[in-house]
Chains A and B, each alone.
Chain A
Amino acid sequence: MSFDFQLIYESWPLFVKGIAVTIFISLISISVSFFIGVAVALMRLTEKRIPVLIAVSYIELIRNTPFLIQVYIAFFVLPAVGIRMEAMTAGIVCLAVYGGAYFAENIRGAILAIPRGQEEAAKALGLSYWKIQRKVIFPQMLGYLIPTTTNLTLSLIKDTAILSVITVPELTYMAQVMIGEAFAPVEGFTVIALMYWGLNSIVAAAARKWEYHSCRHLRVNADSSEKVVVAVLPETR
């Protein structure tokens, strides 16, 4: 079996364009979805009926329908009710809305994981609300948030591939265009698989460094070589 390296070399600009779009979409959607997640988590945590109802409906609806269906609905169905979005915009919005529901659950879990005592003790010490959030609550949340956020980020980066079905010009779409012309599925899919793997490995490594750095106070043995084991399940494929 021969691997057509010449073809890969010729198609390389296509792949570079593709992964640039992938990174671009990931950056924007994941950032937006984080903020959506914070907002929805806070809504969920208020004890008032209406915000809780809205938050729960949003989370359950988004988490119990597959991403591909959401993408098809955004692209083919929303125009019928007047919301027209170009492919790239639709892709970013879809991914942000999808990620937002999952971030909301993660953040809610992080907030609930902090013992109440922390907040009460800080209050007893006379710290202001914002000081408490910034100096006491948030650093402790990081220990919980970073692994779950990393998992979710990696999943969302992989989910950008699904946007290829509505012709968003990201990496998987570029591969299909190249394969459509040259019919070399082995070369095409191998190359993009390796590129995704590389991208995700870089992100995962950066996240591990960040976790190491910001969770100094949580580590049991300062010189232990054990990685911080968090048995957190990935949320999406």
Chain B
Amino acid sequence: MFSSIRNISILRATTVAAVCAFAISIPGVASADGLLAKIKKDGKFNVATEAAYEPYEFMKDGKIVGYSKQILNHVVADLGVNLNQLDLPFQGILPGLLANKYDFVATSVSINAKRAKKYAYTRPVGTNQNVVLVRVKEDRIKSSDDLAGMVVATQLASSMEPVAKEHSAKLKADGKKGYGDLKLFQAIPETIVALASSQVDAVIVGSVQAAVALKKRPGTFKIVSKLGNPRYLAWVARPADKDLRDYMNVQIGKLVASGKIAEWQKEWFGFEMDMPSEGYLPEGAQ
């Protein structure tokens, strides 16, 4: 009789212990669902970048460097994990994020309404103003209206592609011709090289890339005009990973408050940029 009572007690004790252990582990399980916690646990942060956007992120001597990389290094140090940074073509980088190929996209992505619905932007790391870049001896193009009938190049699947297409359509609607041809290259430096070798008449790039081109090949190019409104550039997370996105925002906020961002911007761009902490996302954003 005693043995059976003891067995029941043991059974009860074991059950209670098991339930307690399970209950204690539930918060642990719940928090492990978040991507941020998973990254911390795995010790590895998989990030995708298109390292062809100087000086935000670009290749130098086989390594990815730049203003964004500096911010990313700081964040990773704070997380205390290893960074696995992939250099990928821009065309697949955002869809690859949704396909779970990596955890996060740390590359300069323009904020526009269409993307804001599908992806979770961080707060901006910089601003971009599209400009029209031509060869220094070019006399036919003095303003963006002169692009009618010209061969224009920009980056495939970038935010500049729809800007270019809209501008061409607007020229046509105004009674002029649209662009003679819109050539879409995989990366921005290719468009600039094509411009230098007279394959195209003008390229539409960000003002910062144009400045880099002017610096690297002095006396070759000139900026003709702006095109469209300035946009903010931010990093991107999946809509489901708001914890990671919010963490990034906190980190960027800390860097802004400590003045580090201003210092780095002066170093890489030569000027400071507007760094809003709110009001930068369009309607219906994630």
Contact = CB atoms under 8 A, between A and B. Distances in A.
A84 B161 contact: no
Contacts of B153: 167
Nearest to B153: A167
A44 B92 CA distance: 47
A133 B107 CA distance: 65
A76 B197 contact: yes
B269 interface: no
A80 B197 contact: yes
A79 interface: yes
A180 B157 CA distance: 5
Contacts, number: 38
* Chain A binding surface SS class: helix
Interface string A158-189: 00000001010000000011011101010000
A183 B185 contact: no
Contacts of A86: 199
B222 interface: no
B199 A179 contact: no
B156 A176 contact: yes
Interface string B203-214: 000000000000
A183 B156 CA distance: 12
Interface string A82-99: 001011000000000000
A217 to B, nearest CB: 51
Contacts of A103: none
A80 B157 CA distance: 29
A151 to B, nearest CB: 31
Given A165-B186, A177-B184, A179-B91, A75 B156 contact: no
B183 A87 contact: yes
A165 B190 CA distance: 10
Contact of B95 (A79, A80, A183): A183
A84 B198 CA distance: 7
Nearest to A77: B197
Nearest to B157: A180
B23 interface: no
A79 B156 contact: no
B181 to A, nearest CB: 9
Interface in A179-207: 179-181, 183, 185
Interface string B166-196: 0000000000000000011110000001101
Contacts of A87: 183, 199
* Residue of A75, A80, A165, A180 contacting most chain B CB atoms (<10 Å): A180
A79 to B, nearest CB: 3
Interface string B138-155: 000000000000000100
A180 B94 CA distance: 11
A87 B153 CA distance: 12
Nearest to A181: B157
A180 B193 contact: no
A84 B184 contact: no
A76 B184 contact: no
A167 B184 contact: yes
A177 B156 contact: yes
A79 B194 CA distance: 9
A183 B97 CA distance: 12
Given A167-B185, A180-B91, A79 B197 contact: yes
Nearest to B162: A181
Given A80-B197, A180-B184, 18 more contacts: A75-B194, A75-B197, A75-B199, A76-B193, A76-B194, A79-B196, A79-B197, A79-B198, A79-B199, A87-B199, A167-B183, A176-B156, A176-B184, A177-B184, A180-B91, A180-B157, A183-B94, A185-B92
9 contacts: A76-B193, A80-B197, A84-B199, A86-B199, A167-B153, A167-B184, A181-B157, A183-B94, A185-B92
Interface of B: 91-92, 94-95, 153, 156-157, 161, 183-186, 193-194, 196-199
The 4 lowest CB-CB distance pairs between A and B, nearest first, are A79-B197, A180-B157, A183-B95, A167-B183
